[in-house]
C-alpha cells in the first residue's frame, strides 16, 4: 500500500534535470525522455510514438497534465498503444522547431503543449496542441483521439506511413533556403542597402497601434527586436515618427500590468491591447531583450522612466532569478496555488489595511496612482498599473513629483514585503546557455549606462558559471544545466548569444579573458554550424541522427534566431579582431536570407538590426589608458552615455595594449598621447586624430 507521501507512479523522467520533465515524473503515463532507449523500443515493438512538447511555465501544459496525463484510463491507453516521449522545448529547440513545423502544416496553427504522433522512424503523421480529456465543442477529447489513432495504426498502417513520409518530405523542402547563387567562396551579391531597412520600418508603421503602442492587436508581446530596429533607423534618418513609435510603446508597457510594479520584470505577454492583463509567467529571455531597448531609449531621450524600468528588471533578475552559483534561472510560472496570477493581484481593502500604518492618506495615494479600485480590473481584483505619468499625477495634486515618488516608493516597499510572504509561482531553475548569454549582455549594458557595479558583477558571475560548468573537457559547449548536471550539445543560438554576451562583458570590464572566450566560441560555431555550400547557419551540429531534418532557423521569434545572433557576433568580432572570414560568413548569411529581408521583414527584425550594423560600418573605438583610472573612466563614460548602435569598444593601458594588440587588432599600434588616456575613433581600422578629453571625444562621436 502506498503511503500518503509516496507517489503511486514513478517513470523514467525522475532521472531528468528539467523541471518540466520532473513535473511529469509521477504521471501514470510511462514517459521516456527523447533518446535511443525510446526510439529503439518503438522500432522493436513496431509502435508509434506519442511526442508531447512543452515547458515549465506553460499554463495549458499544466492543464493537460492534470486532465489527461494524470488520468489513469487515458494513461493506460497511451502505454498500451504508444511509446510516450516528453520533451522540454527549452532544452531541445531543434525538436520543437522541427515538429512545430509539422503541426503547423497539419493544422494551420501551433502552440504548447504540442502533441505529435510519429511513426517509429520519427516521421509525424498527426499533430495538434492542447486537447481536453473528453470532447469539448469542436475539440476532440484526448482519450478518444488516442483510441482512434491506435485503431488507425493497427488497420491502416501503410497509409499512415505514406502520409508521414509526405509530411517529412514537405518539412525537408521547407527547410531548404532558396539558392541565392552564392556558392563556396562566392561574393554575397547582390548587395543590401538602407532601402531594405526603410521598407521594414514602413511596414511597422502600418501596423502600429498609435493609441496603445505595439503592433497589431491582442495578444501583444513585447516587440523588443522591432523597437531596436526603429531606434537604429531613427539614429540614421532622424525621422521622428520612428522614435515616437518606440516611446509610445515603452511608456505603455512600463506603466501597464505587464510590468511588475512591485518587484520588477515583465510578464510574457499582454492578453489585451492595453498591456493591462498579462499572462503572468516571466521568462528570462523577454527581460533580457527588453533591458537594452529601455537603456537605449533612455540614452536617446533622457527619459528617466526608461532607466528606472531597466534597473527594475535587472534588480529583479539579481534578486529572484540568479542561482547561488551565478547562472540565471529560466522562468517563473504564471500560476501559484493553482491559480494564474494569484501572487500578483490585490483587493483594495487588503491594500488599504496594509498601508494604513504609513499615514492617513498613503493608501488613497497609492490606489489612485496604481489604479486600485473596489471593482478591480481583473476578475474582481486589481493588477497594478499606471494610467498617467508621475509628473501629470503630481501636477493634478499640485504636489512636487519627487515628494510623490518618495511616498509611492515607501508604499511599494511595504506591499512588496507583504507579497513576499505569499506562495510564489514555481521557478524553472535550469540554466540555458543562450538565454544566459542574452542576460549577460543586458547586465553588462546596465553597468555601462548606470555605472552600477552590481550589474557587472552579476554578468561576470553568470559568464564564469557558463564557461566553467557548461563546457566539456574538450571545450564543447553545452545547452543546459541544473542541479550539478550539464548536458545536450549546444545549438547555434547558444554559441551566438553567449558570444554576444561575452563581447558586451569585455566592453564593460575590458578583461581580455572574455573576448578570448568569445573568439574561441566563434571559431567553434563557424566550424560546427555554418553551411559552407549555401551560406547561413544550421541550428544543430548534425551529429544527432534522431533529428530527421537538419534545419536552419530563419525567423526571429520570441528570441532572435541563431542566424540573426550569429551575424551580430561575427560582425562585432571582425570589427574588434580583424577577422575578415567572419565578416564574409555574415555577408553570406544575409545573402541566404535575402527573400525574407525583402518580402517578410516582419519575421527578421533582429537580422535587420544586424544588417543596419553592417551597412553603418561600425565605429571602432579604442581607448588607451587604465580602465580603473578616473581620466580613462571619463572617456569610457562618454562612449557609454551616447547612443551608438553600431560601435565596438576596446580599452587597455599602454603597456597592456602592446601585448593585447597581438590578438585585439583594434588596439594594435595605439599609444597614449602626452601621457594621457587617449581615445581613437576609427572605421575599417582607419582612425581619426586621437583625442584626450571627454569633450573632444563627444565631438567625434
Q: What confidence tens digit (pLDDT) does each residue in 516-529 have?
A: 999 999 999 999 99
Bridge pairing between strands 427-428 and 331-332: antiparallel
Domain span at residue 438 reads 194-337+428-616
Nearest residue to 122 (alpha-carbon basis) of 159, 85, 176: 85
Q: Both 312 and 258 in a single domain? A: yes
Write down the pTM of the prediction: 0.95
Q: Both 438 and 511 in a single domain? A: yes
Pairwise CA distance, residues 148 & 319, whole Å: 49
Q: Both 375 and 434 in a single domain? A: no
In the listed set 421, 446, 473, which residue is the last one of a domain according to the structure? 421
Q: pLDDT tens, 353-403?
A: 999 999 999 999 999 999 999 999 999 999 999 999 999 999 999 999 999
Pairwise CA distance, residues 276 & 253, whole Å: 8
Q: Both 623 and 611 in a single domain? A: no
In the listed set 124, 148, 175, which residue is the last one of a domain according to the structure? 175
Bridge pairing between strands 269-270 and 124-128: unpaired
Q: Both 481 and 568 in a single domain? A: yes
In the listed set 374, 390, 421, which residue is the last one of a domain according to the structure? 421
Of the pLDDT bands very low, low, confident and very high (cuts 50, 70, 90), residue 181 is low
Q: Both 592 and 623 in a single domain? A: no
- The predicted model gives 43-47 an average pLDDT of 97
Of the pLDDT bands very low, low, confident and very high (cuts 50, 70, 90), residue 661 is confident
Q: What is the pLDDT of residue 174?
A: 84
Q: Chain centroid to CA 583: how far?
A: 25
* pLDDT of 660 higher than 90: no
**Domain assignment present for 312:** yes
Q: Are 541 and 528 within 8 A, CB to CB?
A: yes
The three-class DSSP label of residue 450 is helix
Torsion angle of the four alpha carbons 479, 481, 484, 485, in this order, in degrees rounded to the nearest 10: -50
Q: Both 359 and 221 in a single domain? A: no
Q: Both 403 and 436 in a single domain? A: no
Number of domains in the chain: 4
* pLDDT of 278 higher than 70: yes
Q: Both 247 and 350 in a single domain? A: no
**Domain assignment present for 414:** yes
Q: Are 647 and 620 within 8 A, CB to CB?
A: yes
Across the beta sheet with 282-283, what order do the strands follow? 282-283, 331-332, 427-428
Contacts of 575 (CB under 8 A, 6+ apart): 618, 620, 648, 666
Of the pLDDT bands very low, low, confident and very high (cuts 50, 70, 90), residue 486 is very high
Query: How big, in percent rounded to 5, are the helix, strand and coil portions of the chain?
Result: 50, 15, 35
**Domain assignment present for 181:** no
Q: Both 158 and 237 in a single domain? A: no
Q: Are 146 and 105 within 8 A, CB to CB?
A: no
Amino acid at each position: 500500500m502506498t503511503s500518503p507521501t509516496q507517489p503511486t507512479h514513478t517513470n523514467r523522467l525522475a532521472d531528468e534535470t528539467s523541471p518540466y520533465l520532473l513535473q511529469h515524473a509521477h504521471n501514470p503515463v510511462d514517459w521516456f525522455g527523447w533518446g535511443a532507449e525510446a526510439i529503439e523500443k518503438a522500432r522493436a515493438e513496431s509502435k508509434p510514438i506519442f511526442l508531447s512538447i512543452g515547458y515549465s511555465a506553460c499554463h495549458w501544459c499544466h492543464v493537460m497534465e492534470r486532465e489527461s496525463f494524470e488520468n489513469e484510463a487515458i494513461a493506460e491507453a497511451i502505454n498500451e498503444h504508444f511509446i510516450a516521449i516528453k520533451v522540454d522545448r527549452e532544452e531541445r529547440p531543434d525538436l520543437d522547431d522541427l515538429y512545430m513545423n509539422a503541426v503547423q502544416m497539419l493544422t494551420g496553427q501551433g502552440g504548447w503543449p504540442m502533441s505529435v504522433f510519429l511513426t517509429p522512424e520519427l516521421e509525424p503523421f498527426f499533430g495538434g496542441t492542447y486537447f481536453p480529456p473528453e470532447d469539448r465543442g469542436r475539440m476532440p477529447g484526448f482519450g478518444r483521439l488516442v483510441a482512434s489513432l491506435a485503431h488507425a495504426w493497427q488497420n491502416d498502417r501503410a497509409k499512415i506511413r505514406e502520409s508521414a513520409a509526405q509530411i517529412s518530405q514537405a518539412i525537408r523542402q521547407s527547410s531548404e533556403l532558396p539558392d541565392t547563387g552564392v556558392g563556396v567562396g562566392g561574393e554575397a551579391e547582390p548587395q543590401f542597402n538602407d532601402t531594405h531597412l526603410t521598407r521594414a520600418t514602413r511596414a511597422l508603421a502600418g501596423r502600429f497601434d498609435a493609441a496603445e503602442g505595439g503592433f497589431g492587436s491582442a495578444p501583444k508581446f513585447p516587440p523588443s527586436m522591432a523597437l531596436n530596429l526603429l531606434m537604429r533607423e531613427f539614429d540614421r534618418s532622424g525621422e521622428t515618427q520612428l522614435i515616437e513609435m518606440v516611446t509610445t510603446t515603452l511608456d505603455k508597457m512600463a506603466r501597464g500590468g505587464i510590468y511588475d510594479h512591485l518587484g520588477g520584470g515583465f510578464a510574457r505577454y499582454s492578453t489585451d491591447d492595453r498591456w493591462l492583463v498579462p499572462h503572468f509567467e516571466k521568462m528570462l529571455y523577454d527581460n533580457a531583450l527588453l533591458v537594452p531597448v529601455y537603456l537605449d531609449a533612455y540614452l536617446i531621450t533622457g527619459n528617466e522612466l526608461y532607466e528606472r524600468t531597466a534597473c527594475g528588471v535587472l534588480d529583479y533578475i539579481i534578486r529572484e532569478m540568479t542561482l547561488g552559483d551565478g547562472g540565471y534561472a529560466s522562468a517563473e510560472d504564471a500560476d501559484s496555488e493553482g491559480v494564474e496570477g494569484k501572487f500578483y493581484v490585490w483587493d483594495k481593502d487588503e491594500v488599504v489595511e496594509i498601508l494604513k500604518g504609513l499615514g492617513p492618506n498613503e493608501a488613497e495615494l497609492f490606489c489612485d496612482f496604481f489604479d486600485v479600485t473596489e471593482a478591480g480590473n481583473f476578475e474582481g481584483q486589481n493588477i497594478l498599473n499606471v494610467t498617467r505619468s508621475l509628473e501629470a499625477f503630481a501636477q493634478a495634486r499640485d504636489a512636487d513629483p519627487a515628494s510623490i515618488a518618495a511616498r509611492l516608493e515607501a508604499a511599494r516597499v511595504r506591499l512588496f514585503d507583504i507579497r513576499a510572504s505569499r506562495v510564489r509561482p514555481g521557478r524553472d531553475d535550469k540554466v540555458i546557455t543562450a538565454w544566459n548569454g542574452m542576460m549577460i549582455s543586458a547586465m553588462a549594458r546596465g553597468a555601462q549606462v548606470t555605472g552600477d557595479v552590481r550589474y557587472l558583477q552579476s554578468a561576470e558571475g553568470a559568464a564564469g558559471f557558463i564557461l566553467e560548468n557548461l563546457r566539456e573537457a574538450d571545450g564543447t559547449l553545452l545547452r543546459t544545466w541544473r542541479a550539478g548536471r550539464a548536458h545536450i550539445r549546444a545549438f547555434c543560438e547558444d554559441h551566438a548569444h553567449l558570444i554576444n554576451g561575452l563581447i558586451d562583458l569585455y566592453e564593460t570590464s575590458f578583461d581580455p579573458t572574455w573576448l578570448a572566450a568569445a573568439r574561441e566560441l566563434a571559431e567553434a560555431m563557424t566550424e560546427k554550424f555554418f553551411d559552407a555550400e549555401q551560406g547561413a547557419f544550421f541550428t544543430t551540429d548534425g551529429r544527432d541522427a534522431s533529428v530527421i531534418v537538419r534545419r536552419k532557423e530563419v525567423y526571429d521569434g520570441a528570441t532572435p534566431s541563431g542566424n540573426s545572433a550569429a551575424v551580430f557576433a561575427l560582425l562585432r568580432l571582425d570589427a574588434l579582431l580583424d577577422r575578415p572570414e567572419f565578416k564574409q560568413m555574415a555577408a553570406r548569411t544575409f545573402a541566404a536570407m535575402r527573400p525574407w529581408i525583402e518580402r517578410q521583414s516582419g519575421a527578421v527584425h533582429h537580422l535587420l538590426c544586424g544588417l543596419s550594423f553592417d551597412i553603418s560600418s561600425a565605429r571602432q573605438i579604442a581607448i588607451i589608458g587604465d580602465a580603473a583610472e578616473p581620466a580613462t573612466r571619463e572617456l569610457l563614460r562618454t562612449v557609454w552615455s551616447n547612443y551608438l548602435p553600431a560601435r565596438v569598444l576596446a580599452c587597455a593601458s599602454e603597456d597592456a595594449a602592446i601585448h593585447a594588440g597581438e590578438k585585439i587588432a583594434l588596439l594594435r599600434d595605439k599609444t597614449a598621447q602626452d601621457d594621457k588616456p587617449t581615445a581613437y575613433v576609427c572605421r575599417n581600422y582607419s582612425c581619426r586624430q586621437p583625442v584626450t578629453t571627454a569633450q573632444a571625444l563627444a565631438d567625434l562621436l
